[in-house]
Structure 1
Amino acid sequence: MSDTFQELADIPKDFVRDGMMFVNRCTKPDKREFLKISQAVGVGFVVMGAIGYFVKLIHIPVNNVLVG
């Protein structure tokens, strides 16, 4: 019974220890890396916006033909 309780008590300790090790290994991106990530996100927004626009552009006339 004591071993089971000890194992359950160790789970949060291990989680916090692993989390602290992860945070300590992480580094902030430098300026060049940040710009690359920002550009990739921007291109993704533009591409997804364009896809959504064209889908809506096609959906409206098709919907009017089916409904009207």
Structure 2
Amino acid sequence: MSEKFDEIKTETKNFINQCQRVLKVSRKPTREEYINISKVTGLGICLLGAVGFAVHVPITYLKALIKP
């Protein structure tokens, strides 16, 4: 039981150390970076919506044809 606790304790310490390293390296994005990220994210959302719509419409019509 003690070995398991020590293993969990070690893994937790390693995770916290990794999180601290990431936070030290990270920084606040500039306005230009933020705008670019927003554009790419918006474009991705629109593309996923278009793909979902393109799949949904034919399936809806096929269901209507199958169930008269």
**TM-score of the superposed pair, with normalisation by structure 2:** 0.74
Instruction: Report how many aligned residue pairs link the two structures.
Output: 64
CA RMSD of aligned residues (A): 2.0
What's the CA shift string for 1:6-49, capped at 9, x where partnerless?
x6444433332222121111111111111111000100111111
Alignment gaps of 5+ in structure 1:
none
Paired position in structure 2 for 1:22? 22
Match status 1:51 vs 2:51: yes
**TM-score of the superposed pair, with normalisation by structure 1:** 0.74
Amino acid corresponding to residue 39 of structure 2 in structure 1: Q
> In structure 2, do the counterparts of structure 1 residues 59 and 27 end up closer, same or farther at CA, with 3 Å as the change threshold?
same
The runs of at least 4 aligned residues of structure 1 exceeding 6 Å deviation read none
Separation in 2 of the partners of 1:61 and 1:15? Answer: 51
- Between 32-41 and 49-58, the greater mean CA deviation after superposition: 49-58
> In structure 2, do the counterparts of structure 1 residues 33 and 65 end up closer, same or farther at CA, with 3 Å as the change threshold?
same
Percent of pairs with identical residues: 20
